[in-house]
Structure 1
Amino acid sequence: MSAPAPLLVVGDALLDHDLYGRVERLAPDAPVPVVSSLRHITRPGGAALAACLAAADGRQVTLVTALGDDEASESVCRLLADRVHLVRLPLTGTLSSKTRVLTEDRPLLRLDDGDGRARERTDEAYRAIAKAEAVLVADYGRGTADVLRDALRSTAARVPVVWDPHPRGNPPVPGVRLATPCAPEARVFANRLRTGEEPRGGSALQATARHADTGEESQGAGALHAAARHADTLVRGWRAASVAVTLGGRGALLSHGETPLLVPSPVTAEGDACGAGDRFAATAAGLLADGELTETAVRAAVHAATRYVAEGGARAFAVDAAPATHPRPSDDGEPTDDALRTAARVRAAGGAVVAAGGCFDLLHAGHVALLQAARRTGDCLVVCVNSDASVRRRKGDGRPLVPLADRVRVLRALECVDAVAVFDEDTPERLLAELRPHIWAKGGDYALARLPEASLVESWGGQVVLFPYLDGRSTTGIAERAAAAPRPTPLTGRRGR
């Protein structure tokens, strides 16, 4: 399989600080919570986080951003070392940073500092944009996209450009392949186009954003109707090929200016959503760089953003954590480290790892129902699939009907599946011992049998869980009906009698 295409990220780097603590009482001198047992982590933010996320997908990433000589800028440089190639623009002022105080992964307070803006373009930055094969613009309204706007306009005419806009910034350049505002931002941008309003900042912007997320547009069908209407306005007003309005836990709505496509989240993910928009945009931009269709890129981006939240969000990029790597799973069907890495990340974030196993030969509705139900019980789903040799030993010489590489590819295409691993033995016990899932999911047809792997799963405190099985669905039954069906005659194409 070819390596992922390189990606150029253009935008405003930030420095993020998170203070995690416990709240057990109110202060005696004021009705405010007292946060104790603080743990301080520092991580890249803004376009720097987007670049790190793209690099974590196994890509070569170049980041064009404005940095100065201040302490925050130097911290960002250290955090980006060995992750991305850096092209620096001069910065006026000090780099923007934000500090969040969180308890139980919920923010209590945010402090913003630094008012730095990109001062001017450089020849090195223009050269990087001119030779880019694909670009992600992570605009955080601090001027990087503005000083490079002419170059980005030219680039959008020849290669895929994904633009993640910010209400403080200017609209995307004409011709971008995909723009990715969240729902409140989409309303702000659409209203500007309708009224001719200019970008603004401060309290006026905050009031607009608050207004954009209230009323009937924030709920149910009204939210979808509003998102579709705003997306249509943005496609036409921005002259963008498409706009994907991200809807938080509900997924994203993709519009090309016609009937929109709703891409729902595979599951409801609970956790810190900071950076989920960057994860969405980085995934979509990377896949467009690889030559995928926009619809395919948006589907994968929704899945990636959901998994990102479930696995703990941006804390994986903290200064005290090793750089995360998420190499693409190979299509040759061989076991990869991806499943073990996924399980380890979810477990480290305090989530529940769910595993399910089987041959999955001729994937059918019963399989899909089982996997969807299993995924809803935890924070990630790893599917353990029998190798071809293992299937033959279990099912006979005529099986599998579908070779391993194809079975793995189909399973990975399901939005409820986070990773796939292959085992060659008759049972998945060796693989389970490495994965150590919290839940081992099986179909209800095993209800009267003691699974050979049950004792192993229970040895580390795991639980075997059975799920209802859809009657009348089986690979054997489907294969027998297909074999018995009349076939078209070679000349007429009509079914034989």
Structure 2
Amino acid sequence: MDRIAIESFLARLRGLKALVVGDLMLDEYVWGRTERISPEAPVQVVDVVRQDLRLGGAGNVVNNLVALGCSIEVAGALGDDADGRSLRAMLEAAGIGIDGLVFAPGRTTSRKTRILASNQQMLRIDRESKDFIGADLETQLAERIRALADGCQVILVSDYLKGVLTEGLLREVFAIGRAAGIPVVVDPKGSDYRKYLGATLLTPNRKEAQTASGIAITDEASLCRAGRALRDTLRLEALVLTRSEEGMSLFLADGREVHLPTEAREVFDVSGAGDTVLALLGIGLGAGLSVELAAKVANLAAGIVVAKVGTSTVSPDEILDVAGRRHADTDLKIKGRDLLGRVLERERERGKRIVFTNGCFDLLHVGHVKYLQKARNLGDLLVLGLNSDASIRRLKGPKRPLIGEEERAHLMAALKCIDYVVIFDEDTPLELISALRPHILVKGGDYAPEGVVGKELVESHGGRVEIIPFVDGKSTTNVIERILERYRDE
């Protein structure tokens, strides 16, 4: 179930660490009003209202990771100038590790100034150096990256062709990633992608893929040819080709191709969307997600970001909100274990009494419904621990369940008496009960309280166990037997 996997991933973000390598720059936004034409030239006059200075380039990848709550180290070359010192101070103030920064005398730190009026960008002014850093700085950076990679789950490479990511440095970065056993994810630039040989995954957009592959992308077929060509030539584990309003396409090492439609509701500004994709894809792979699921999360995040003006970021709550809209009536009730634990902690603080029960609930029948309604009446919230498909097979044999865990979860969440559903994979709910700490533990049937799993745990923090008898003659086994009896001849 993708949304539950996404919830679980987002809940673990604060324990993840990323190393961002690339072209760091400052993004300056000058906001104003324009109501007249200059008497000096046929141009609009902008009356400045406010100014905003942000991390840009690879720094916007850092911004995205900060918004997600990750730990970050950064490596790159800055000019030994006022903007370089300002950029370093901004990173320090945000709690970013800066041991990977080197200063290059005579180099101009990149600064892009955007003039905006009525939410429209009118002009951009760039101040920067584009010359390649020298061999000494390349060696220094490689040594610092090697030291910083230890303890990181992913290396994110953000290339803006400003001269920091030389071919030699890229080779070192890819080798460091392989040696550390962590993915190296690259947002590429330029026409010659041979310098990226050794990366784990690349995230070009349509125009970049066309330029690098030499294949004119005019339709779906030519786009796929370009994606396959780049994946195969560079021997990538995957290539994720972003397609603006059409979503993204994945070209995987096993030959599969997955096309994800856009998640954007409205598009105001695409600047920085590629940085968001790089950040979410990279940290997703670093967390152990499959390429496909990491891309789905990145696609959700990109759809949120392009609806904002200027290079923006996205929060875990925004991602969860969008992920939950596909099943607005039921999906929002289905939670991963970590997230549900935090939700219930807030409910406890509000004085709510939490009731917990668990089961397979394969083939929902009236006995189940009556039981759950009675359980809900014992407190303020009813949490259902639902056995996963794998745990049911271990408990009831290889022919069960008849209905998969995702369908069962949505069926149970559709019941008014159930407030939350959480799937668990263990043979007993003991670990789940320990994590959720309910006030009341409910079991059905002819159990004695002493035989209920989790009884001691619940009672240790002042809770209690309740036994609710099942409705006579109502069981999944009976339903299956009646079906077999009536349709055996057919």
| Structure 1 length-normalised TM | 0.60
1:177 aligns with 200
Matches of 1:113 and 1:405 in 2, distance apart? 58
2:162 aligns with 142
Which has the larger Rg?
A: 2
1:16 aligns with 27
User: 1:352-367 counterparts in 2 under 5 A?
Assistant: 360=330
| Cα offsets for 1:12-63 (capped at 9, x unmatched) | 1011111122233433444333322442111111111112211321211111
What is the percent sequence identity of the aligned residues? Answer: 26
The number of residues matched between the two structures is 353
Matches of 1:361 and 1:49 in 2, distance apart? 32
Shift of 1:70: 0.6
Matches of 1:179 and 1:168 in 2, distance apart? 14
Secondary structure at 2:265 match in 1: coil
Out of 160, 164, 167, the position equivalent to 2:187 is 164
Q: Is the 8 A contact 1:89 1:125 kept in 2?
A: no
Q: Is the 8 A contact 1:16 1:99 kept in 2?
A: yes
Shift of 1:294: 0.3
1:250 aligns with 246
Q: Cα–Cα, structure 1 residues 244 and 34, in superposed 2: closer, same or farther, change >3 Å? A: same
Secondary structure at 1:226 match in 2: helix
Out of 96, 113, 120, the position equivalent to 1:84 is 96
Shift of 1:263: 0.8
Shift of 1:131: 5.7
The one-letter code sitting in structure 2 at the alignment partner of 1:487 is I
Matches of 1:152 and 1:356 in 2, distance apart? 40
1:228 aligns with 224
2:233 aligns with 237
2:440 aligns with none
Out of 55, 60, 75, the position equivalent to 1:49 is 60
Matches of 2:282 and 2:309 in 1, distance apart? 22
Q: Cα–Cα, structure 1 residues 233 and 387, in superposed 2: closer, same or farther, change >3 Å? A: farther
Out of 273, 281, 285, the position equivalent to 1:284 is 281
User: 1:344-359 counterparts in 2 under 5 A?
Assistant: none
Q: Cα–Cα, structure 1 residues 363 and 120, in superposed 2: closer, same or farther, change >3 Å? A: closer
| Cα offsets for 1:85-133 (capped at 9, x unmatched) | 1111343511121111123333221111121543422122332246643
Q: Cα–Cα, structure 1 residues 405 and 187, in superposed 2: closer, same or farther, change >3 Å? A: farther
Matches of 1:404 and 1:311 in 2, distance apart? 38
Q: Is the 8 A contact 1:65 1:88 kept in 2?
A: yes
2:121 aligns with 107
Out of 303, 324, 338, the position equivalent to 1:306 is 303
Shift of 1:292: 0.4
Matches of 2:326 and 2:182 in 1, distance apart? 40
2:138 aligns with 120
The one-letter code sitting in structure 2 at the alignment partner of 1:159 is I
Q: Cα–Cα, structure 1 residues 9 and 168, in superposed 2: closer, same or farther, change >3 Å? A: farther
Secondary structure at 1:89 match in 2: strand
The one-letter code sitting in structure 1 at the alignment partner of 2:220 is L
Shift of 1:356: 11
2:210 aligns with 187
Q: Cα–Cα, structure 1 residues 6 and 183, in superposed 2: closer, same or farther, change >3 Å? A: same
| Cα offsets for 1:158-215 (capped at 9, x unmatched) | 3211111011775453342210011111111112xx7xxxxxxxxxxxxxxxxx7xxx
1:133 aligns with 153
Out of 76, 81, 86, the position equivalent to 1:70 is 81
Q: Is the 8 A contact 2:159 2:187 kept in 1?
A: yes
The one-letter code sitting in structure 2 at the alignment partner of 1:162 is V
| Structure 2 length-normalised TM | 0.61
Q: Cα–Cα, structure 1 residues 402 and 186, in superposed 2: closer, same or farther, change >3 Å? A: farther
Q: Cα–Cα, structure 1 residues 260 and 85, in superposed 2: closer, same or farther, change >3 Å? A: same
Q: Cα–Cα, structure 1 residues 359 and 265, in superposed 2: closer, same or farther, change >3 Å? A: closer
Matches of 1:314 and 1:387 in 2, distance apart? 44
The one-letter code sitting in structure 1 at the alignment partner of 2:204 is P
Structure 2 alignment gaps of length 5 or more: 1-10, 335-351, 358-368, 387-404, 411-417, 420-474
Shift of 1:77: 1.0
Out of 133, 154, 157, the position equivalent to 2:175 is 154
Shift of 1:6: 1.1
Q: Cα–Cα, structure 1 residues 315 and 289, in superposed 2: closer, same or farther, change >3 Å? A: closer
